[in-house]
Structure 1
């Protein structure tokens, strides 16, 4: 694993915008010296590294599925701050094996040892467009003789094709709360992969979904019954909304992507449970729900936090916190191991899973201790 510099392509901004990364300006805070998409640098991997990472990611995913089974069998929903009324529906969703499509593991990796799990974005993962499309086209333009850990697009199309969806079009819903356009473009891309798989699709805003009180079903603006809904609206938000009970209890008559049981995998209490079930596993960091225990350095992560908000790093040298409104639901305390330093920048690897198979890699860099919305996305290649 090496960090290398390269010249930006002429007109790179218009190029990536034409490929779907229209939000690269709006999704990045203003006033930063570095753009969100930064192709002036990239990471080069060997094929042996990538094959090893693929194997590690698939093992982590299998461990996560086993953790869901453990929570359901033992009824450990309270550890995840899951409302009691939701728990039976999560169990039913899991027992039915409601279909899932994709997720993204965030990993610490320095090229010298096993990857360490930082969190699993299993319900509403983003950075999909740049991981699947934009960096692939960069590779073809700049390093056409090399390869990339990236079969995301093909696997998404295949996954939509094999899913046992109900009849009628699949609806893809963004929320009007998204001011950057990232959510709309991500869902538009997912919609495109479903169409390439031969699925009929409809785009809709979450705010435009209605409830038919006679049929007891959700409907779109044309009064069509919604039988499949792909959304980037977190389940914890949906559960707290007025329509939440209808969404949760109507699982059996409607396919949600991602399914309700993914609430357990998108919750950072998962980190403590995995360490409990697999203590000392080479891909895990020690993590606990009742406090940092004897960890010499730790990071407190809110169970439902996003974009690095409301976190606190405590080391023998001091403490560092990020702003945010998360944390009322509780925290997990994970051993803090700083991201590896490459020329003053710290990468976090976003390893994608489609279905149950490792599918590709996206990398974000930060100069600080915590990866947040100021980080930049950089491409990668496999040097052949």
Structure 2
């Protein structure tokens, strides 16, 4: 695995515009960055990322099976008690999930096994650019002779998403899957628009709804702006926000089915990390992790990462190295509690810290994304850098 400096295509913004990639820059700074790419070997993909991702996901599902039957576990995750029945029911029905992203610290062969930093199992973004635009970059750069002939990409995301949506439609029996997000959030809206297109290719009706337009009928159905029942709803809106809202209490009794399903609230919580370590201490792809109030956290010594249970995009993360604060990110989270995780610093390539995102579609690894940050914490200002499998 190595970082390769390249000349960006002079017309890549025009390519992005034609492809519908409208959130390629934030506040004038590039989010999509093709001034470099990562070259990864097939063995690194298959042995060091794909196989551990499959094993970690299976371990996470085993944890959900335990958690839904144990109120102490659900309470430790600060999931409100009124949501427990909805979570249990969705798991016992085997409500299917669509996708998620395992964030890993991994620097290539010879640097040690990939370590799980967190599981973005409920509302991960960076999906469209992973599935579509970095593939278009690959094809165009190959056609222009900018990449080695015969190189490939770990990227079956689009095909797997369409196939998974076909399976989900058959499982739910709903020919219509509504998609909801905040309409004025470019990255969220772009992610949802891409998934709408996948749903259309899967043969579904796929209307968009702003989150604030969703209503609740007296018979328990969630409804659209016209008062029509929503049989199935993909919501790019976190479960912890839903459960904190008054209408969140209606989820369990509602006939509406959700993507991601309520049981994903167990996996999108950083408390998952402490429970996984308790289940499989010493697992090669896990870091030791403990709840903040657990005296066992002393085992981490003076180097650790403290994360809020509900934080997103690196908010409120604290990194301590050898007893000194190495990085701190402010944000609105933390009142719900924290976990401490062993420190696995992100690998540095050309002075940039690289985070590996391993995409899961259903229960299978399906693709790779790499994001770079100047600092130790990967925030919403990290840059997306494409990758190739080097022949």
What is the TM-score when the length of structure 2 is the normalising length?
0.93
Kept in 2: contact 1:166–1:228 (CA 8 A) = no
The match for 2:57 among 56, 61, 64 is: 61
Structure 1 position 281 matched with structure 2 position 283: yes
Q: SS of the counterpart of 1:249?
A: coil
Q: SS of the counterpart of 1:49?
A: helix
Residue equivalent to 1:134: 133
Q: SS of the counterpart of 1:329?
A: coil
Q: SS of the counterpart of 2:298?
A: coil
Structure 1 position 313 matched with structure 2 position 319: yes
Q: SS of the counterpart of 1:314?
A: strand
Kept in 1: contact 2:220–2:253 (CA 8 A) = no
Determine the C-alpha separation between the residues in 2 that align with 1:361 and 1:227: 32
Residue equivalent to 1:171: 178
Q: SS of the counterpart of 2:310?
A: coil
Distance 1:143 1:224, change over 3 A: same
Kept in 1: contact 2:243–2:249 (CA 8 A) = yes
Post-superposition offset of 1:110 = 0.8
Kept in 2: contact 1:173–1:203 (CA 8 A) = yes
Kept in 2: contact 1:29–1:374 (CA 8 A) = no
Residue equivalent to 2:67: 71
User: Which runs of 5 or more residues in structure 2 are unaligned?
Assistant: 144-149
The match for 1:184 among 185, 189, 211 is: 189
Determine the C-alpha separation between the residues in 2 that align with 1:59 and 1:119: 14
Determine the C-alpha separation between the residues in 2 that align with 1:20 and 1:348: 25
Aligned pairs (5 A) from 1:216-295: 216-250=220-254, 253-289=255-291, 290-291=293-294, 292-295=297-300
The match for 1:107 among 104, 107, 112 is: 104
Structure 1 position 364 matched with structure 2 position 368: no
Determine the C-alpha separation between the residues in 2 that align with 1:326 and 1:147: 40
What's the Cα RMSD here?
A: 1.4
Determine the C-alpha separation between the residues in 1 that align with 2:228 and 2:200: 19
User: Which runs of 5 or more residues in structure 1 are unaligned?
Assistant: none
Aligned pairs (5 A) from 1:288-367: 288-289=290-291, 290-291=293-294, 292-296=297-301, 297-316=303-322, 318-319=324-325, 320-367=327-374
The match for 2:34 among 32, 39, 55 is: 39
Moved over 6 A (4+): none
Deviates more, 1:153-162 or 1:138-147: 138-147
Determine the C-alpha separation between the residues in 2 that align with 1:221 and 1:325: 31
What is the TM-score when the length of structure 1 is the normalising length?
0.94
Deviates more, 1:60-69 or 1:70-79: 70-79
Kept in 1: contact 2:102–2:358 (CA 8 A) = yes
